[in-house]
C-alpha cells in the first residue's frame, strides 16, 4: 500500500513523527511521503527516525505548497506537492522561507474574520499555545480553538471562512514548478477535484489547465485521492495518459479531528 500525501502536527495534522510512523505501519503502508503545508519539518523528523531505526519502509521527502496561478484566465488557487528533494537545498528553502513571511499576516486576517463572523476575540493564550505546537497555523487550528467556546458546526465554519481572502499570500505556481525542476524534484498537481470545486470548473477546464502546467514542467497528477470517486479517477487518469504524467495517490490524511472521514492509505472516495 502507498500513500504520498500525509500530514503531521507540524502543519495542520494531529500526529507527531512517532505517532504517524506507528499509524502508517498499522495501516499496512509500505511506501509514503509526509507533505505538510509549506514546511518540511515533519517530513525531516520522520526521515530521521526511519533512518535511525534502519526501517524497511520506503520514504519520499515531501511538502505541499499553497499556490496561486495568477497570470491565467481565470486566476486559480491550487496546491502543489513536491517530492524527492534534499532538505538543505537552497532553492527549496527559498520557497519555504518566502511562504514563512506570509504566516503572521494570514493569522491576523483569520483573527479579524472570526471577530466579524462570530463577534468573538480569540484568546491570545490559546493562539500562542497553537503556535507552540504547529509551525503552520491554519483554519483547522482556529476551528479547534473556537469549539472550546461555542457550538460550531465544522462544515458551516469552513463555508463561513471561505470569505477569507488570502490570494496574495500564496506562492506562484510557475515559480514552484520552475525551482522544483531545477533541483530535480517531482512536481505533482494535488487533488484536482478541489480546484474544480473551489473555482466551479469543468473537467474540460481542468484538462486545459493540466496541459498548460505540463508545458511549464509539471511531472505528475494526484489521480487517486480521498475526495476522488471512480468517475473522477478515470477522468484524471485519462489526463495523465494524454499528457504523459506520472500518477500519484494520496489520502490527504490529517487525523480524526481535522478530517474525520479520511483514513491513512485510503486514496479514493
Domains of the chain: 2-100+168-250 (3.20.20.140), 103-161 (no CATH)
* Residues paired with 82 in a beta bridge: 63, 187
Cell of 63: 511538502
Instruction: Give residue-wise pLDDT tens across range 154-189.
Output: 889 989 998 888 999 999 999 999 999 999 999 999
- Per-residue pLDDT at 142 exceeds 80: yes
Q: State mean pLDDT over 92-101.
A: 96
Going by pLDDT thresholds of 50, 70 and 90, the confidence category of residue 242 is very high
pLDDT of 123 reads: 95
- What's the confidence (pLDDT) of residue 38? 96
Neighbours of 244 (CB within 10 A): 8
Per-residue pLDDT reduced to its tens digit, 145-162: 999 999 999 889 989 998
pTM of the model: 0.90
Which stretches within 61-217 are classed as H helix? 90-100, 103-118, 124-133, 139-146, 154-161, 173-182, 192-199, 203-216
Q: Residue 64: which pLDDT band, with cuts at 50, 70 and 90?
A: very high
* pLDDT surpassing 90 at residue 135: no
Q: Residues 6 or more apart from 139 whose CB is under 8 A from it?
A: 12, 110, 157, 158, 161, 164
The mean of the pLDDT values for the chain is 95
> d(Cα 65, Cα 35) in Å, to the nearest integer?
9
pLDDT band at 258 (very low <50, low <70, confident <90, very high): confident
Residue 170 CA to residue 175 CA, distance in Å, equals 11
Per residue in 167-179, is it b (16+ CB within 10 Å) or e — as a string?
eeebbbbbebbeb
- Distant-in-sequence, close-in-space partners of 84: CB < 8 Å, separation ≥ 6: 60, 61, 184, 185, 186
Please give the average per-residue pLDDT across 92-107, as a whole number: 94
Residues 62, 39: Cα–Cα separation, whole Å = 9
- pLDDT of residue 134 exceeding 80, the answer is no
Amino acid at each position: 500500500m502507498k500513500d504520498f500525501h500525509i500530514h503531521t502536527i507540524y502543519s495542520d495534522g494531529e500526529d507527531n513523527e512517532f505517532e504517524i510512523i506507528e499509524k502508517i505501519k498499522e495501516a499496512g503502508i509500505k511506501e509514503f511521503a509526509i507533505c505538510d503545508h509549506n514546511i518540511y519539518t515533519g517530513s525531516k523528523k520522520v526521515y530521521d527516525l526511519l533512518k535511525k531505526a534502519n526501517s524497511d519502509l520506503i520514504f519520499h521527502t515531501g511538502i505541499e505548497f499553497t499556490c496561486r496561478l495568477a497570470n491565467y484566465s481565470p486566476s486559480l488557487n491550487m496546491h502543489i506537492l513536491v517530492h524527492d528533494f534534499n532538505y538543505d537545498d537552497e532553492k527549496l528553502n527559498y520557497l519555504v522561507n518566502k511562504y514563512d513571511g506570509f504566516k503572521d499576516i494570514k493569522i491576523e486576517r483569520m483573527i479579524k474574520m472570526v471577530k466579524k463572523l462570530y463577534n468573538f476575540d480569540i484568546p491570545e493564550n490559546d493562539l500562542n499555545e497553537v503556535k507552540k505546537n504547529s509551525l503552520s497555523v491554519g483554519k483547522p487550528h482556529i476551528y479547534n480553538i473556537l469549539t472550546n467556546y461555542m457550538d460550531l458546526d465544522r462544515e458551516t465554519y469552513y463555508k463561513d471562512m471561505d470569505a477569507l481572502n488570502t490570494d496574495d499570500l500564496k506562492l506562484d505556481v510557475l515559480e514552484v514548478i520552475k525551482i522544483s525542476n531545477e533541483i530535480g524534484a517531482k512536481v505533482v498537481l494535488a487533488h484536482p477535484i478541489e480546484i474544480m470545486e473551489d473555482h466551479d470548473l469543468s473537467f474540460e477546464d481542468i484538462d486545459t489547465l493540466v496541459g498548460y502546467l505540463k508545458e511549464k514542467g509539471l511531472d505528475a497528477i494526484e489521480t487517486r485521492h480521498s475526495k476522488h470517486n471512480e468517475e473522477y479517477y478515470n477522468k484524471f487518469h485519462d489526463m495523465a495518459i494524454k499528457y504523459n504524467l506520472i500518477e500519484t495517490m494520496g489520502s490527504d490524511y490529517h487525523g480524526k479531528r481535522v478530517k474525520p472521514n479520511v483514513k491513512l492509505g485510503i486514496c479514493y472516495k
